Chain A
Amino acid sequence: MKRLWHDKSLFLASVTLICVVLLVLVGPLLAPWSYEVVDWNAVNAPPSADHWFGTDGAGRDLFARTLVGGQVSLGIAILATCVSFAIGVPWGAIAGYVGGRTDQLMMRVVDGMYSVPFILVVILLVVLVGRNAYLLFVGIGAVSWLDISRIVRGQTLVVRTGQFVQAARGLGASRPWIVWRHILPNVVGIAFVYATLTIPGVIIAESFISFLGLGIQEPQTSWGVLVSDGTKEMHSSPWQLAFPAAFLVITLVCVNVIGDKFRDAITVSSIRR
Chain B
Amino acid sequence: MKHNRKFAQNCRRFTLAVIWVFSSTCIVGDETRVLRIGSPGDPQTLDPHRYTLNLEEHILKDMFLGLTAMDAKGSIVPGSAKSWQTSSDGLTWTFHLRENYWSDGTPVRAEDFVFSLRRLLAPETAAPLAFFLYVLENARDVNSGVKQPSELGVSAPDDATLVMQLEKPFPYLPERLFYPTGFPLPAHVVKEYGRDWVKPENWVSNGAYQLADWKPQQAVALTKNPHFFDHEHVAIDRVEYVPVADSLASFHRYLADELDIIGDFPAGELESLRKSHAEHVHLSPLLSTMYLVFNVSTSQFTDARVREALALAIDRQKLTQHILRSGEIPNASIVPPIVEGYSSLIETEGANLEQSRALLKEAGFGKENPLKLTLRYVTGAENKRVYVAIAAMWQELGVDVTLHHAELKVHFSDLGAGEFEVAQAGWFGEGNPEHYIELLWSKIGGINYGRYESADFDRLLEEAKNTVDSIERASILQQAEALALRDFPVVPLYSVTIRSLVNPRISGWYPNPRNSHAVRYMSLN
Q: Which residues in A have some Cβ–Cβ distance to B below 8 Å?
A: 36-38, 40, 43-44, 56-60, 130-131, 213-214, 217-219, 229, 231-237
Contact = CB atoms under 8 A, between A and B. Distances in A.
A4 to B, nearest CB: 43
23 contacts: A36-B392, A43-B322, A44-B268, A57-B323, A57-B381, A57-B385, A58-B384, A59-B322, A60-B388, A213-B380, A213-B381, A213-B405, A213-B407, A217-B403, A217-B404, A218-B387, A218-B388, A219-B391, A231-B248, A232-B247, A232-B248, A233-B268, A235-B268
Nearest to B380: A213
- Max count, chain A CB within 10 A of own CB: residue among B271, B379, B385: B385
Which 10 pairs of residues, A with B, have the shortest CB-CB distance? A38-B392, A236-B268, A233-B268, A213-B379, A58-B385, A58-B388, A218-B403, A57-B385, A43-B322, A232-B266
Contacts of A237: 268
B401 to A, nearest CB: 9
Interface string B299-327: 00000000000000000001000110000
Contacts of B384: 58, 218, 229
B246 to A, nearest CB: 8
B269 interface: yes
A130 B271 contact: no
B389 interface: yes
B272 interface: yes
Nearest to B393: A38
Nearest to B403: A218
Chain B: interface residue count, which band? 20 to 34
Interface string B257-271: 000000000111101
A116 to B, nearest CB: 23
Given A40-B322, A232-B247, A130 B272 contact: no
A24 to B, nearest CB: 22
- Max count, chain B CB within 10 A of own CB: residue among A60, A219, A229: A219
Given A43-B322, A60-B388, A130 B410 contact: yes
Interface string B403-416: 11111001000000
B393 to A, nearest CB: 8
Nearest to B406: A131
User: SS class of chain B's interface: helix, strand, loop or mixed?
Assistant: helix
A44 B266 CA distance: 13
Contacts of A58: 323, 384-385, 388-389, 392
Contacts of A36: 392
A130 B407 contact: yes
Contacts of A235: 266, 268-269, 272
Given A130-B407, A130-B410, A131-B410, A219 B388 contact: yes
Contacts of B381: 57, 213, 229, 232
Contacts of A44: 268
Contact of B268 (A37, A57, A131): A57
Contacts of B323: 43, 57-59
Given A59-B322, A236-B266, A236-B272, 7 more contacts: A40-B322, A57-B323, A131-B406, A214-B407, A217-B405, A233-B268, A233-B269
Contact of B318 (A40, A57, A214, A234): A40
A93 B255 CA distance: 56
B302 to A, nearest CB: 26
Contacts of B271: 236
